[in-house]
Chains A and B, each alone.
With several copies, the nearest count.
Chain A
């Protein structure tokens, strides 16, 4: 079972309007910028997809990646923990004019909700946010004399993820702190689309060091020299990138 697709355009070709898309990364680390920009290219050519709900820790920086998706008008809602960044002007404007809805989730709760979505756990209790505005409207229960908030799983139609190594079966490794939310998002999405720096034959990754087993991955595309979003941002680049 070879999960490779031939290119970035094919990788993102069947993402539909209105779907929920989880996007790996914490700031620039792990941001699958080539996949995101392929989605932007498709939108420029076809007007689709749009009305997306994005799930990420952040809400974009400068005029790249997530921020460029918002700027292109493709995004209806963002679920994240920290919409601030070095330059969050695109999100801030969209939030203020009401064109993008924000669901703010504590970072650990966001991670656990995504894991729960992948693990078939529809709800769990956490001490996080008890007694705060972010717990408003959520069930609260007491266990062993302490109060906890009930949180629901979070699933997605699609995950876009940046890996370091992949094999043809979809087993993945990541690079340093670029791992962050990606292994969880692979679990929680119906269709996980991965850009990997290198795709190896099955067996090319030691079974002991696989971080994401292939069962959680549907499509892989090789991006041999990925750019780092942070480098792009610091260089003042904006989507579309100069060729």
Chain B
């Protein structure tokens, strides 16, 4: 089936980040979003462990392990960077100073609930800064495959896994569509042109609503 690659999902999410926006990207897949800023736009990236305005990874062998992001990957600094301690860092998060946080998800529900930290009681739990970010950033967006590896919907009426946050997600960028969450409903905004409405509805665990035309989700080859 036709679907976007992770790079393409990240590209699409990057198009919605304004010039000068303060942005936190979750560890792993969401970090890719930084690579796809439209020309002329410069977001300022925040990492929970106390850096504002960090840049891309250094060349191999150039790593300084005191200069890392929340995923413990080596990064670099951009002009205008600042260091601060963890309480100040999460003051930025919790105090509503970030314009957007882009995170991954196990499940997203039509009421805006997010599950992305625990797959249940077996395994060792780990939460990091996810629960802070989802109730702190002005806008919480999710990038994710539309379905699990087993083909099961990740967009659901209600989350089944332990919640990260309640009613916190407002937009989901998936491998098939861009979907807003408003008033407890999934609002389909964009979808792959090759995909019919019914097809995408079948892959979604809750009703997809529309309040206007659904745009074509068109992204470059990446």
CB <8 Å contact, B89 and A111:
yes
A168 within 8 Å of B (CB atoms): yes
**Which of B52, B68, B132, B162 makes the CB contact (< 8 A) with A108?**
B132
CB <8 Å contact, B65 and A230:
yes
Minimum distance in angstroms from A59 CB to a CB of chain B: 8
Cα distance A231–B136 in the bound complex, in angstroms: 34
CB contacts under 8 Å to A, within B75-107, are 77-98
Report chain B residues within 8 Å CB of A231.
65
**Which of A120, A180, A230 makes the CB contact (< 8 A) with B49?**
A180
Q: Mark B124-143, 1 if CB is under 8 A from A, else 0.
A: 11111111100110000000
Cα distance A130–B114 in the bound complex, in angstroms: 12
Nearest neighbor of B129 in chain A, beta-carbon distance: A107
CB contacts under 8 Å to A, within B138-170, are 162-166
Q: Mark A115-140, 1 if CB is under 8 A from B, else 0.
A: 10111110000111111111000000
**Which of A1, A92, A131, A214 makes the CB contact (< 8 A) with B124?**
A92
Nearest neighbor of A181 in chain B, beta-carbon distance: B86
CB <8 Å contact, B97 and A171:
no
Number of A positions contacting B (CB below 8 A)? 76
B53 within 8 Å of A (CB atoms): yes
CB <8 Å contact, B95 and A134:
no
Report chain A residues within 8 Å CB of B84.
179, 210, 213
CB <8 Å contact, B131 and A187:
no
A30 within 8 Å of B (CB atoms): yes
CB contacts under 8 Å to B, within A56-106, are 57, 81-86, 88, 91-92, 95-96, 102, 104-106
Nearest neighbor of B19 in chain A, beta-carbon distance: A1
Cα distance A183–B89 in the bound complex, in angstroms: 12
**Which of A110, A131, A177, A215 makes the CB contact (< 8 A) with B92?**
A215
Most buried by A among B68, B78, B91, B130: B91
Report chain A residues within 8 Å CB of B44.
1, 169, 214-215
CB <8 Å contact, B128 and A111:
no
Number of B positions contacting A (CB below 8 A)? 58
CB <8 Å contact, B86 and A111:
yes
**Which of A108, A130, A167 makes the CB contact (< 8 A) with B93?**
A108
Q: Mark A26-66, 1 if CB is under 8 A from B, else 0.
A: 11111000000000000000000000000001000000000
CB <8 Å contact, B86 and A167:
no
Cα distance A112–B132 in the bound complex, in angstroms: 11
Cα distance A194–B201 in the bound complex, in angstroms: 51
B172 within 8 Å of A (CB atoms): no
CB <8 Å contact, B85 and A181:
yes
B110 within 8 Å of A (CB atoms): no
Cα distance A72–B124 in the bound complex, in angstroms: 20
**Which of A88, A118, A127 makes the CB contact (< 8 A) with B135?**
A127
Cα distance A180–B66 in the bound complex, in angstroms: 10
Q: Mark A189-209, 1 if CB is under 8 A from B, else 0.
A: 000000000000111010110
B50 within 8 Å of A (CB atoms): yes
CB <8 Å contact, A107 and B163:
no
A20 within 8 Å of B (CB atoms): no
Report chain A residues within 8 Å CB of B20.
1
Cα distance A123–B123 in the bound complex, in angstroms: 31
CB <8 Å contact, A106 and B127:
yes
Report chain A residues within 8 Å CB of B131.
106, 108-109, 128-129, 132, 134
CB <8 Å contact, A213 and B82:
yes
Report chain B residues within 8 Å CB of A82.
126-128
Cα distance A182–B86 in the bound complex, in angstroms: 8
Contact status of A177 and B132, CB under 8 A, knowing A30-B66, A111-B87, A132-B165: no
Closest 4 CB pairs of A and B: A203-B79, A1-B20, A108-B90, A120-B94
Give the B-binding residues of A (Cβ under 8 A). 1, 26-30, 57, 81-86, 88, 91-92, 95-96, 102, 104-112, 114-115, 117-121, 126-134, 167-169, 171, 174-184, 187, 201-203, 205, 207-208, 210-211, 213-216, 228-231
Give me 19 other A-B pairs in contact (C-beta within 8 A), A81-B129, A179-B85, A207-B81 excluded: A27-B65, A91-B124, A102-B125, A106-B127, A106-B130, A108-B48, A109-B132, A112-B94, A126-B94, A128-B135, A129-B131, A131-B166, A132-B164, A133-B163, A174-B83, A179-B50, A203-B79, A207-B77, A215-B44
